[in-house]
């Protein structure tokens, strides 16, 4: 096989096709994670009532521990806070919101969406080997971009037509980065 821009572009794209698709799909979902997060969607919601509390000073580590045991939540506590008479408790796969004045609240249980949740994990994984592979992927994406500039010849080449499309493609992210964020 001859080493050309077309062959390099094609073979790298074939090799990384699965990761390109996974990153594309999961990237779209991560862009919209405020409305629906594939790694954390509500699986069930349970209305609860506990005895009303006199004030936020009653919310202690011991109170949270007793609450966790009483509600049979077998999960790791992440954090808790009280703001404006609302007790918020966050566990790894549960969120609790309780009005401390009335004692009424709810427990939401979260699950990971099969396949989509795992794909979004690729964007956030920090294991040493995954970082090395991701770096290789990043270099491959740059090679795919650069070799793609030299595949076409003639009036549709990068030199004739492609440069201004590439320039437009650079302008849009810069607009979002500097003017609209």
Which string of DSSP letters, residue by residue, matches the chain? ----HHHHHHHHHHHTHHHHHHHHHHHHHHHTTTT--TTSEEEEEEEEE----S-GGG--HHHHHHHHHHTT--S-EEEEEEETTEEEEEESSEEEEEETTT-EEEEEEEEPPTTHHHHHHHHH---HHHHHHHHHHHHHHHHHHHHHTTT--GGGSIIIIIHHHHHHHHHHHHHHHHT--
Taking the C-alpha atoms of residue 117 and residue 160, their distance in angstroms, rounded to an integer, is 43
Residues 169 and 126 in one domain: yes
Residues 107 and 126 placed together within one structural domain of the fold: no
Residue 66 pLDDT exceeds 70: yes
Residue pLDDT, tens place only, 103-142:
999 999 888 878 877 777 777 777 889 888 888 999 999 9
Domain boundary pick from 69, 86, 111? 111
CA diameter of the chain = 78
pTM of the model: 0.60
Question: Do 86 and 70 share a structural domain?
Answer: yes
User: Are 92 and 129 in the same domain?
Assistant: no
Question: 39 pLDDT exceeds 90?
Answer: no
- Report the distance separating Cα 146 and Cα 162, nearest Å: 12
Q: Looking at the predicted structure, is the pLDDT value of residue 167 above 80?
A: yes
Provide the domain limits for residue 78: 41-111
Whether 45 and 107 share a structural domain: yes
Residues 107 and 68 both lie in one domain: yes
Q: How many other CB atoms are found less than 10 A from the CB of residue 180?
A: 6
Residues 99 and 122 in one domain: no
| Last-in-domain residue among 111, 132, 152 | 111
- The mean pLDDT of the chain is 86
Q: Does residue 28 sit in the same domain as residue 87?
A: no
Same domain, 152 and 64: no
Structural domain tally of the chain?
A: 2
How is the beta sheet containing 86-91 ordered, strand by strand? 41-49, 104-111, 94-99, 86-91, 77-83
Question: Are 102 and 147 contained in the same domain?
Answer: no
Please answer whether residues 141 and 9 qualify as being in contact, where contact means their C-beta atoms are separated by less than 8 angstroms.
Answer: no
Tokens 């010849």 -> residue = 153
Q: 126 and 102: one domain?
A: no
- Do 134 and 174 share a domain, yes or no? yes
- Beta partners for residue 109, in sequence order: 44, 94
1 within 8 A of 7, measured Cβ to Cβ: yes
End residue of a domain, out of 53, 82, 111: 111
């Amino acid at each position: 096989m001859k080493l050309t821009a077309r062959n390099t572009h094609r073979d790298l794209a074939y090799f990384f096709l699965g990761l390109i698709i996974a990153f594309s799909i999961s990237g779209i979902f991560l862009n919209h994670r405020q409305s629906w997060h594939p790694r954390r969607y509500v699986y069930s919601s349970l209305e609860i009532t506990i005895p009303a509390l006199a004030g936020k000073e009653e919310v202690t580590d011991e109170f949270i521990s007793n609450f966790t045991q009483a509600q049979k939540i077998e999960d790791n506590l992440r954090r808790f806070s009280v703001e404006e008479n609302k007790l918020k408790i966050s566990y790894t796969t549960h969120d609790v919101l309780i009005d401390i004045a009335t004692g009424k609240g709810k427990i939401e249980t979260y699950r990971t969406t099969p396949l989509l949740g795992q794909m979004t994990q690729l964007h956030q994984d920090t294991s040493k080997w995954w970082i090395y592979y991701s770096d290789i992927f990043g270099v491959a994406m740059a090679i795919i971009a650069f070799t793609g500039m030299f595949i076409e010849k003639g009036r549709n080449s990068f030199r004739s037509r492609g440069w201004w499309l590439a320039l437009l493609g650079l302008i849009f992210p810069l607009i979002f980065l500097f003017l609209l964020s």
